[in-house]
């Protein structure tokens, strides 16, 4: 991850996907994109193969930390807001649809 701008400020490693906050607060993801866990909008965006190189998670404000679950992801913005995406059953959204960004 040395090529990421500003280095890595926060890192979350999961079984199938991982997230990093880079120096300017952007969040990047790598790994399997099942149920939108990479934040591309829908699971179909990157396909089930996922991303072998880090991809930008769109729609997030500058963030300070990240966490990953089984098929979902979370980021805490620099102003303290929590953002989550991925498998809705793990997010407590009350539905069984997948969500991105």
Let me know the angle formed at the C-alpha of 18 by 1 and 85, rounded to the nearest 5 degrees: 130
Copy the structure tokens of residue 84: 């989550």
* Chain segment 30-62, per-residue pLDDT in tens: 886 666 667 765 444 444 556 677 888 888 999
What ranges do the domains of the chain cover?
8-99
**Spatial CB neighbours of 2, under 8 Å, sequence gap ≥ 6:** none
Cβ neighbours of residue 38 closer than 8 Å, sequence gap 6 or more = 17, 29, 30, 31, 32, 45, 46, 50, 51, 55, 57, 73
Whether this prediction's pTM lies above 0.85 is answered by no
Residue bearing the bigger pLDDT, 94 or 59:
59
């Amino acid at each position: 991850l040395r090529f990421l701008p500003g280095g890595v400020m926060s890192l979350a490693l999961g079984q199938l996907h991982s997230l990093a906050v880079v120096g300017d607060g952007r969040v990047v993801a790598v790994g399997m994109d099942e149920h939108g866990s990479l934040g591309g909008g829908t699971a179909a965006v990157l396909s089930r193969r996922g991303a072998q190189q880090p991809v930008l998670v769109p729609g997030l404000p500058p963030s300070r930390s990240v966490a990953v679950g089984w098929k979902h992801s979370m980021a805490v913005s620099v102003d303290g807001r929590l953002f989550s995406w991925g498998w809705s059953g793990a997010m407590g959204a009350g539905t069984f649809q997948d969500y991105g960004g």
